Amino acid sequence: MSNNKEMAHAYWKENLKLIWILMIVWFVVSFGFGIILVDVLNTIQIGGYKLGFWFAQQGSIYTFVVLIYVYSHQMAKLDHKYQVEEE
């Protein structure tokens, strides 16, 4: 019983660590690049669009979609590690 509790605690701890890392990345991209650093990034243009504007309008959305994939992939690995994967 104790071993199962320890495994569940370790699993949850790794899950929370992953969530925090991904949330920090999302915050940096959406708030940092899209709001705080927008003026600095707007000095760079890619394809005729200012980079700060792109991050504010598109970059944070694309990043969020990528983070969903990363979370799904990492959780599959974590589930396998702790032998809790679904069939």
Q: What is the pLDDT of residues 9-56, one digit of tens each?
A: 999 999 999 999 999 999 999 899 988 999 999 999 988 889 988 888
What pLDDT shows up at residue 63? 93
AA identity, residue 48: G
Ramachandran assignment for 47, one of left (phi > 0), alpha (psi -120 to 50 degrees), beta (any other): left
Cα 87 off chain centre by: 26
Q: Provide the whole-model pTM.
A: 0.83
pLDDT in tens, 51-80: 988 888 888 899 999 999 999 999 999 999
What pLDDT shows up at residue 42? 92
Nearest alpha carbon to residue 64 among 37, 39, 40, 28:
28
